[in-house]
Structure 1
Amino acid sequence: MSAQECGGARQQRSFGRAADELRPVKLTNDVMKNADGSCLAEFGDTRVLCTACIEEGVPSWRKGQHAGWVTAEYAMLPASTSTRSRREQKGRKGRSMEIERLIGRSLRAVVDLRRLGELTVTCDCDVIQADGGTRTASVTGAWVALHDALMSYVRQDKIKRLPLTDQVAAISMGMVAGRPLLDLDYPEDSHADVDMNLVATGGGGIVEVQGTGERSTISRDQLNALLDLGEQGIRQLIQAQAELTGFGV
């Protein structure tokens, strides 16, 4: 059982996990009646409600291309953190815009937009409880919601076949007190020397790597160790998605 240095005090990791262990992950689909697809993604104490809604037509700049579009919106609900945050208005916060663009890019990486046809899928990711890793839980849960929404259209003969080419999931890694850790919770994230996120497909393709030296730099060997941890976590998340949806099974 591993421990970490956090804020000068030696603490056990949440859920008594080792450095290379995920928090307990639970994906629950079909949680919203009116969405075409939905998923509650739980990574430990982080909970994100992901929905996918399909609309006829595409944005004006995409008309005539005979291809669809997948986009995302992300928000943190006021009571999702320890102190109430103000509800976001139009003219969104920079962080939320950055995360929703990440979610959209991640999902589009595994969708054949021409096979989708001139439809727009919007995936909404609303954080109802935050304890680190909200963007990674959002990507992972949004794929489930997207899968179920598209399958509903296949069953209704509105799409000839499922336009998904693969799965996609995301996980965080970081260097905390000189140790590489997988799936950081908030106390770890807030004290991380280096903070990273990995987005990857079921086939092992890397969609995006985000990394920041918050308090120090890292060596190439440490970077490789973090990526190895991330790939290990991605494989587990991909398996959880597949078990829930039956995709690729």
Structure 2
Amino acid sequence: MRPSGRKFDQLREVSIETGFSHHAEGSALIRMGRTEVLCTASVEGKVPGFMRGQGEGWVTAEYGMLPRATHTRGDREAARGKQSGRTQEIQRLIGRSLRAVVDRKLMGEITITLDCDVLNADGGTRCASITGAYVALCLAVKKLREKNVLKVNPVIGQVAAVSCGIYQGVPVLDLDYVEDSAADADANFILTGAGGIIEIQATAEKATFDDAAFAALLALARSGTAQLFAAQSAALQG
């Protein structure tokens, strides 16, 4: 039995609220169980220096956690004067994941920055960030098209992410903090709506796992992301 009482293949309750931020071109507050992440998309009419003159756009991301998003207070990284290695790794992952479903040649020289701020953390914050950031990105692109800044939709696919792991010897979907901290192995799957794999991060924490276990985790991830794709589509249509 999982600590939450969920079945092995059951997601936490998921909701995506759009338009949460009044000023951003696109925003989504995603809740996956007790994990809550505010994702905002901001548009700038320029690109980084290394991309100027190429006629392509840029999609990037920043990630952060509020001091009391976790059980004990964490220092603000701005107060420390530098980001942790974990923060840098996660925001690069979010950026890569969103760029994988965007044709940047259709953007022109604009930048869309996805800010993912964790309000409450109970496991799976990077996966929730990617899933929510996709919705914020689509909303920003919609606004740009309404203003005739973009002639064609540069978003060419759908992306969502979910964690899976081996808990007490059983492959399970969508780890919360209690499971994640005690898992034999855990993994993050970033998948596209067309069935493509963008990235898989899989680690043996307490015990190694074999091909059959990995196949079981991937099957769970595909089932979970299918539900997340449906939640994203519903939020964008609402």
* Structure 2 equivalent of residue 237 of structure 1: 228
* Structure 1 equivalent of residue 218 of structure 2: 227
The percent identity for this pair of structures is: 50
| Structure 1 segment 1-249 matched on structure 2, within 5 A | 3-4=1-2, 13-14=3-4, 16-89=5-78, 90-246=81-237
CA deviation digits over 1:189-231, x for unaligned, max 9? 0001101000011111110000010111001000000000001
CA shift, 1:244, in A, is 1.5
CA deviation digits over 1:35-79, x for unaligned, max 9? 000000100000000000000010000011110000000001101
Extract structure 1 runs of 4+ deviating beyond 6 A. Answer: none
TM-score, normalised via structure 2 length: 0.97
CA shift, 1:246, in A, is 3.5
Distance 2:41 2:64 in 1: 15
Length, aligned pairs only: 236
TM-score, normalised via structure 1 length: 0.93
Unaligned runs of 5+ in 2: none
Amino acid across the alignment from 2:190: V
CA shift, 1:17, in A, is 1.5
Distance 2:68 2:135 in 1: 25
CA deviation digits over 1:162-199, x for unaligned, max 9? 11001100000000110101000000000011010000
CA shift, 1:23, in A, is 0.1
Unaligned runs of 5+ in 1: 5-12
Distance 2:16 2:87 in 1: 22
Distance 2:82 2:67 in 1: 17
* Structure 2 equivalent of residue 10 of structure 1: none
Distance 1:152 1:140 in 2: 19
Amino acid across the alignment from 1:63: R
CA shift, 1:91, in A, is 2.0
CA shift, 1:243, in A, is 1.3
CA deviation digits over 1:16-39, x for unaligned, max 9? 310000000001111001100000
Distance 1:29 1:98 in 2: 26
Amino acid across the alignment from 2:59: V
Distance 2:237 2:17 in 1: 13
